Amino acid sequence: MPVVYGSPDLLPGLSVVYVCGCGLRVGEYGAHAAEPPAGWVRSAESEYLCEHCASIASETQARPGQAPTA
């Protein structure tokens, strides 16, 4: 899922909502908006994975052909 940038009138600064494919959404505001939340990993140009999904993705890459354990 993409990163959503915005600057609502009520907040005089940049706000960013990071959205993972699992549906988790985390908002960042101001100076921290340009940095993904702690533990999140960039997966494409404007796409990030939450810490949980990133760990599953890394397990899948480490063991191709096997389903990751939950």
Mean pLDDT across 26-35: 81
In this prediction, residue 36 carries a pLDDT of 87
Half-sphere exposure of 12 (CA within 13 A, CB side): 0
Choice between 23 and 45, residue whose per-residue pLDDT is larger? 23
pLDDT-above-90 percentage for the chain: 16
Domain residue limits, the chain = 3-62
